[in-house]
Structure 1
């Protein structure tokens, strides 16, 4: 079970408490953070924050992969052997993009 860092307590939990959210006497089974209730919704602020961070990081990777794929598509070589290598790399990038997208959807 991942532990909650002091930074997460300062940046996530304290502002949430100051905003009027209610800390419950139940804890998240994933990270051990206290669960909170706000506007009728019960949630784990630490897991939500971590999920948003991960999504942002994945989006950055996805954007870089798309840029590289576009760059490769715009610079197709005439030599057949080089073209084959080029297409193989493009196929690997497409596979990576599909994996990232399936990870995003699976969470």
Structure 2
């Protein structure tokens, strides 16, 4: 369901920009569909998807930073190095999963 915040942040500016609100609604979220420049779209679903991708990128950035930290501080002791590399491998696996969820970006 569409929230008041989404109406204020998404729909009001669209109307002011000249987008046309249609008499059809999104089957996914129930928000009104819009048309602008010949393109029919659901602004709420587009906004939510963009927000989700930004959140995922942010998580990925944190994981990559941790991976860089680990890579720059490899221990000399073999047992500690093995544990260190195991953690790095797990981080890489998680990063790869996030990228697959994003559609390969």
TM-score in terms of structure 2 length: 0.95
> Alpha-carbon deviation of 1:37?
0.3
Which residue does the alignment assign to 1:105?
103
Structure 1 length as normaliser, TM-score?
Answer: 0.93
1:54 to 44, 52, 55: 52
Stretches of structure 1 that go unaligned for 5 or more consecutive residues are none
Moved over 3 A (4+): none
Q: Deviation per CA, 1:29-77: give whole Å up to 9, x if none.
A: 1111111000000000001011111111111111111111011011111
Alpha-carbon RMSD across the aligned residues, in angstroms, is 1.0
Which of the residues 62, 65, 68 maps onto 1:64?
62
Secondary structure of 1:36's aligned partner: strand
Q: Which residue of 2 aligns with 1:21?
A: 19
Provide the aligned length of Structure 1 versus Structure 2.
104
